């Protein structure tokens, strides 16, 4: 598998940055994990959007969905131009928000409504787990070619989290806070939590979803202090595993 970081910030980006969005290549399939602000223009530098196999939306917050409507416009343009393409799967939980409801109803996506425990099997497998966030968030485990990759979306500490990430070879996780700013009522994990989880699980974490006001040296120092096998996500970088 191969993961390209399209956007790593939340809830808004630094100048010239983007919010949560990631392009995963698993086998011969291209999978877009969330569609945050700025993701469309970065996606089209990598692949034609019509070559997407699936779009997975972890939850409905704008920093994860801002460019979802733009993707729909793109596919509408292709369709009206008479171009033939396979509609990408869209996996999303229908929480009644306008952005998700409109996307599910769009004729330009092959929409599948997910729920906790939902599983989809093709020559690739998606398994969804509800985690803990103010908007209903579903993490996804993706299995392909004997490898398992997990993406949390946005979550704080919760009962399913450890088993969810420990089942993966590599996991991409929300490190929205430095530990000094974290508490159990916050909507995100801390950087320390993510690195600590990789140490406990014996796997590798890619830490993402950073507050743009944080210093990256402080982020790295906190992850290192926790002792896990970690990568600090960098926009434009590709990680292979």
Q: What is the pLDDT of residues 76-116, one digit of tens each?
A: 999 999 999 999 999 999 999 999 999 999 999 999 999 99
Question: Which pLDDT score, from 0 to 100, does residue 112 have?
Answer: 98
pLDDT for the residue 179:
98
Beta bridge partners, 148, equal 143
Any residues with CB less than 8 A from the CB of 6 and at least 6 apart, and which? 18, 21, 22, 23, 36, 38, 39, 42, 43, 235
Q: What pLDDT is recorded for position 57?
A: 98
Domains contained in the chain, CATH given: 2-240 (3.60.15.10)
pLDDT, tens digit (0-9, with 9 covering 90-100), for 109-137: 999 999 999 999 999 999 999 999 999 99
Residues (pLDDT < 70) of the chain are: none
pLDDT at 111: 98
CA distance 146 to 206: 19
């Amino acid at each position: 598998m191969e993961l390209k970081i399209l956007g790593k910030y939340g809830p808004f980006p630094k100048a010239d940055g983007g919010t949560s969005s990631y392009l995963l290549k698993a086998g011969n399939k291209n999978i877009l994990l969330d569609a945050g602000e700025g993701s469309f223009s970065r996606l089209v530098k990598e692949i034609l959007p019509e070559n997407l196999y699936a779009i997975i939306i972890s939850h409905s917050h704008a920093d994860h969905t801002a460019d979802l409507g733009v993707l729909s416009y793109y596919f509408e343009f292709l369709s009206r131009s008479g171009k033939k393409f396979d509609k990408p799967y869209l996996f999303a939980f229908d929480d009644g928000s306008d952005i998700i409801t409109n996307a599910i109803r769009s004729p330009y996506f092959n929409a599948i409504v997910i729920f906790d425990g939902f599983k989809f099997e093709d020559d690739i497998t998606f398994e969804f787990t509800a985690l803990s966030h103010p908007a209903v968030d579903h993490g996804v485990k993706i299995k392909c070619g004997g490898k398992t990759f997990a993406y949390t979306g946005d979550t704080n500490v919760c009962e399913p989290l450890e088993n969810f990430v420990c089942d993966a070879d590599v996991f991409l996780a929300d490190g929205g806070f430095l530990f000094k700013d974290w508490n159990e009522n916050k909507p995100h994990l801390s950087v320390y939590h993510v690195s600590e989880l990789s140490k406990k699980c014996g796997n590798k974490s890619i830490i993402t979803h950073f507050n743009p006001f944080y210093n990256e040296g402080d982020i790295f120092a906190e992850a290192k202090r926790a002792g896990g096998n970690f990568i600090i996500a960098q926009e434009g970088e590709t990680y292979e595993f």
